Amino acid sequence: MFQSSAADVSEPSKALKKCKGGLIFIGIASALINILYLTSSFFMLEVYDRVIPSKSIPSLAVLAILALMLYTFQGAFEVLRSRMLVRVAGALDEMVNGRVFRALIKAPLKVKIGGDGLQPLRDFDQIRTFLSGQGPTAMFDLPWLPFYIVICFLFHPAIGYIAIGGSLVLAILTFMTNQGTRTLSKKQSDSANMRNAFAQTSIRNSEVIHAMGMAGTMAEIWDRKNSEYRTITRQASDIGNGYATLSKIFRIALQSGTLATGAILVIQGQASSGIIIAGSILTSRALAPVEAAIGNWRGFVSAQQSWARLSSLLKTIPEIPAPLALAAPTKQVTVEGLASGPPAGQRLVISDVSFGLRAGSALGVIGYSASGKSSLARAMMGIWPTVRGSIRLDGAALDQWDGDALGRHIGYLPQDVELFSGTVAQNICRFAKEMSPEAVVAAARAARVHDLILRLPNGYETEIGEGGAALSAGQRQRIALARALYGDPFLVVLDEPNSNLDEEGERALSAAIMSVRARGGIVVVIAHRSGVLAVCDFVLMMQDGRMIAFGPKEEVLARVSRPEAARTPIAERVAQLKVVVDGMNAAE
């Protein structure tokens, strides 16, 4: 149904092969259904050729009972086939949906994702919907076309030739449907992605849109994107529906032509009167799978394109077997000649960054905006790929750790804080299957946010809403800090953790950093304000994606005040460092 080379079988194809038993049953059921479809033709043939001439009511009753039994079997097999198709689609979903979701959340870290990023889910839904619909039944019935044509020839060669001619015409219509809808189907998918991405961006920025009077402008942009999508959808529908209608009318006309041909054969004495009706029904049935295939062709093309995109994504983001479990890091973090950039990017954002930190240390990373501070944080967390160099915990590079296992030893507070819909406790414990209330409270106390949480309507059980909408920016940041500290991780990276904090929050942040140092952890803080540097013992300065100063805080900052510093080769960099520190102090 979906093509894959033998040398490179996609993951969805492998999963579908595991449903071989269900597919074999569907094939057998399709065979029996197509054989039972002959019931109406032979019933008509017997009625016109035997019952009417003999005027035998008992014979008609027996034929009617037999036909009713066969129709019952046919209906039962139809139901079983459709139910099995739904089961196959469900089995495919059960085997692949988790893999698709894992690839979905990894995709932004590995490849460039367009639109709203949800295309893999829509692709999988499209495949599942197609498999559980009427499209596959047409594909299973289509190979029985030669069987019906042979029966038509047994009735009379003229009827067989009519069936062959009709098949060729419908095959041409199928080819034209494929050519006319394939490109438009891809354009329609791309346009839908852009439209949905714009809608989601508008929803996230609804406050800015309404506060700054942008609603009218954004509505006009939406109208343009929606108009483009509507135009493409209309074109695809016009082509698909046009060919489907043409094939339907052609099949009806062909059925009438078969009736006329049968009448001529009867008049000329070359066939019995039953051939008129039986041949017409049989010819119509022979071409029904082709007509059904044309009617479902848009869905087939969409599912085929979704299958190709999904297979390509899963191939790009393979499942990596979990490496040998390593002991929890307790000694040091080293960064050696690190160069990194965005996933699927064409340039490096940071390069030649090297430093080491021992347990109990805290590093403050400073620099101008766009100097590479947050990029360094993303690279250290493994969010951005390491192009050159390495990041090691106790000598083991990040890729030597299993992702979930490594996550237990790392805490991360991103610059743009996002919380998940759920309770405060669930967010702090990272939605762990087995939440430890003691560890949740300990993390909240370490972040100095325990009392704040208790003042919420339901304490730790307070539902915070999608994205933490029920909390202020400062509350979200402090709860996210507690999440970063949950489980006493060895390495904690905080990207501008005080951007939304008041004075009390600043003190709580400093205390949290000191508590991590006291228990032997390592903290890396991206800072734009100098207050947090007071609890750091090392300072690193970034400029244009490069490290231009690193060392003990007192030593690095003392360089600024040394008169002889002006005569050293690094005088210019130290002067830049002084400007940055002075600017941070002024911001305080």
The predicted pLDDT at position 2 comes to 54
For the entire predicted model, the pTM comes to: 0.69
pLDDT, mean of residues 294-322: 81
Q: What is the 3-state secondary structure (H, E, C) of 292-329?
A: HHHHCHHHHHHHHHHHHHHHHHHHHCCCCCCCCCCCCC
Res 3 pLDDT > 80:
no
The 8-class DSSP code of residue 463 comes to B
Secondary structure class of 169 (helix, strand, coil) = helix
Mean pLDDT confidence for 409-414: 91
Residue 309 neighbours by CB under 8 Å, 6+ apart? 119, 120, 123
Name the percent of the chain lying above pLDDT 70: 91
Helical (H) or strand (E) element with 166: helix 157-204
Per-residue b/e over 176-200, b at no fewer than 16 CB within 10 Å?
ebbebbbebbebbbebbbebbbbee
- Tokens 């999440």: give the residue: 483
Tokens of residue 517, six digits: 């140092």
> pLDDT, tens digit, for every residue of 446-482?
988 999 999 988 899 998 877 666 788 888 888 999 9
Distance CA 39, CA 454 (A): 75
Average pLDDT over residues 253-270: 82
CA distance 418 to 504: 22
Distance separating alpha carbons of residues 64 and 44, to the nearest angstrom = 10
- What local confidence, expressed as pLDDT, does residue 450 receive? 92
Encoded amino acid at 420, one letter: F
Nearest CA to 521 among 439, 373, 408? 408
Q: Which of 109-113, 221-225, 393-397 has the lowest mean pLDDT?
A: 109-113
How far, CA to CA in Å, does 319 sit from each of 121, 307, 311?
18, 18, 13
Q: Residue 464 to residues 364, 427, 430, 444, 458: CA-CA distances in angstroms? A: 31, 9, 14, 16, 10
The total number of residues shown for the chain amounts to: 588
Whole-angstrom distance, CA of residue 329 vs CA of residue 174: 62
Over the stretch 146-181, which tens digit does the pLDDT of each residue have?
888 888 888 888 888 888 888 888 778 877 877 777
* Domains within the chain, CATH numbers bracketed: 11-316 (1.20.1560.10), 328-409+491-498+523-588 (3.40.50.300), 415-488 (3.40.50.300)
Q: What is the DSSP string of 401-447?
A: S-HHHHHTTEEEE-SS----SSBHHHHHTTT-SS--HHHHHHHHHHT
Burial class of residue 94 (count of CB atoms within 10 Å of its CB; 0-12, 13-18, 19+): exposed
Of 575, 525, 196, nearest to 373 by C-alpha is 525
Main-chain phi, psi angles of 18, to 5 degrees: -70, -15
Handedness of CA 187, 203, 101, 128 (dihedral sign): negative
Phi and psi torsions of 103, nearest 5°:
-65, -35
Strands (E), 487-558: 491-495, 522-526, 538-543, 546-552
Please answer whether residues 493 and 377 qualify as being in contact, where contact means their C-beta atoms are separated by less than 8 angstroms. Answer: yes
Burial 419-431 (b: 16+ CB within 10 A, else e): beeebbbbbbbbe
Residues 256-282, mean pLDDT to the nearest whole number: 81
Q: Which residues contact 581 (CB under 8 A, 6 or more apart)?
A: 366, 530, 557, 560
Average pLDDT, the chain: 82
Mean pLDDT of 63-79: 92
Residues 6 or more apart whose CB falls under 8 angstroms from that of 297 comprise 174, 177, 178, 181, 240, 243
